[in-house]
């Protein structure tokens, strides 16, 4: 089942994608794709509904973030062995954990806004894990039972803010529009193996990232279990699990995003994102 949110910014409605690729309105069934709606019981109820009985959404509405009311946006750094080798960094003995501000979250096809003073805005295609059942001190063997599903994440990053300004990575990861998620949340039952998904990213048609989740150092089940030892994970929390090689910082010479660039990215079975890059317009 592919769940999504559609409509103007801040006014998104819940929906699902039917087998023909049409959006079906779920607003008469659930208030949002968020919180308790992500529980196993509620997802099973949604799965029992015949999509043809739901109103078909006309036209081509904006697709919003696939999860609403995200409480925590947790990220894992250097989690692909081939990506760690790209800048000559060692694979960490434990996952590197940092946060993105939830205010960075936007729709999968919304513009990426280069923040004021940025010269090194970069891209990162990542597998997103969406929590559906609260997790605290869970074992790895049971961890995926706490997952509602998966989505595409572009962990947009400003490398100067992240690395050259010292301190924590969070400030290089949290600008508005730096967290496109979606287009849809693909429920766990449709992803037989989250550690065997092809992923890619292009800028202006040039393929920079072309990897697979099979090279993740710490897999999805381990990460959910690991994080639950340090914080409780709540329904709607999103975990961005790291990126394969091919980021702009790793190019020789480095390549960074500029206004007018078009970024396209996707993960096998989870859909695609398409973003236009623009400068901050002095508002918001």
Domain ranges (residues) in the chain: 68-279
The pTM (predicted TM-score) of the whole model is 0.95
Question: CB of 35 within 8 A of CB of 69?
Answer: yes
pLDDT at residue 157, rounded to an integer:
95
pLDDT at residue 87, rounded to an integer:
62
Tokens representing 281? Answer: 């317009």
**pLDDT single digits (tens) 47-64:** 999 999 999 999 999 999
Tokens representing 109? Answer: 């096809």
Residue 27 has a CB neighbour count (10 Å cut-off) of: 16
pLDDT at residue 81, rounded to an integer:
78
Q: Which residues of the chain fall below pLDDT 50?
A: none
- The dihedral through the CA atoms of 75, 80, 84, 86 has a sign that is negative
pLDDT at residue 166, rounded to an integer:
75
**pLDDT single digits (tens) 62-87:** 999 999 999 999 999 989 977 666 66
Instruction: Measure the CA–CA gap between 65 and 116, rounded to whole angstroms.
Output: 24
pLDDT at residue 85, rounded to an integer:
64
CA dist list (Å): 211 to 125, 254, 277: 9, 19, 23
DSSP per-residue string spanning the chain: -EEEEESSTT--EEEEE-TTS-EEE-TTT-S-SSGGGGSHHHHHHHHTS-GGGSPBPPS-PPB--SSSS---EEEEES-BHHHHHTTTPPPPSS-EEEE--GGGEE-TTSPEEEPTT-S-EE--EEEEEEE-S-BSS--HHHHGGGEEEEEEEE--EEHIIIIIT-S-GGGGT-STT-EEB-S-EEEGGG-S-TTS-EEEEEETTEEEEEEEGGGBSS-HHHHHHHHHTTS-B-TT-EEE----S--GGGSSS-----TT-EEEEEETTTEEEEEEEEE--S--
Residue with tokens 């968020």: 34
pLDDT at residue 243, rounded to an integer:
95
CA dist list (Å): 54 to 41, 49, 51: 20, 8, 5
pLDDT at residue 92, rounded to an integer:
84
* CATH-assigned architecture of domain 68-279: Alpha-Beta Complex (3.90)
């Amino acid at each position: 089942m592919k769940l999504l949110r559609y409509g103007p910014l801040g006014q998104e409605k819940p929906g699902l994608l039917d087998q023909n690729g049409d959006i079906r309105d779920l607003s008469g069934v659930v208030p949002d794709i968020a919180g308790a709606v992500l529980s196993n019981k509620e997802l099973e109820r949604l799965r029992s509904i015949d999509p043809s009985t739901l109103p078909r959404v006309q036209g081509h509405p904006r697709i919003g973030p696939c999860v609403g009311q995200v409480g925590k946006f947790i990220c894992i750094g250097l989690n692909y062995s081939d990506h760690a080798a790209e800048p000559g960094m060692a694979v960490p003995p434990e996952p590197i954990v940092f946060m993105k501000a939830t205010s960075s979250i936007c729709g999968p096809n919304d513009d990426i806004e280069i923040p004021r003073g940025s010269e090194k805005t970069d891209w990162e295609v990542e597998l997103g894990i969406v929590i559906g059942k609260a997790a605290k001190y869970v074992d790895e063997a049971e961890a995926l039972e706490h997952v509602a599903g998966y989505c595409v994440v572009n962990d947009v990053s400003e490398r100067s803010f992240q690395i050259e300004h010292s301190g924590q990575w969070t400030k290089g990861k949290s600008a508005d529009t730096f967290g496109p998620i979606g287009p849809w949340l693909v429920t766990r039952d449709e992803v037989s193996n989250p550690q065997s998904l092809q992923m890619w990213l292009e800028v202006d048609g040039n393929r920079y990232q072309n990897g697979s989740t099979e090279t993740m150092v710490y897999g999805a089940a381990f990460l959910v279990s690991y994080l639950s030892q340090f914080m409780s994970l709540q329904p709607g929390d999103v975990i961005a699990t790291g990126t394969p090689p091919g980021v702009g910082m790793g190019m020789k010479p480095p390549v960074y995003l500029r206004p007018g660039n078009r970024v396209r990215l996707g993960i096998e079975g989870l859909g695609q994102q398409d973003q236009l890059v623009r400068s901050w317009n002095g508002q918001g």
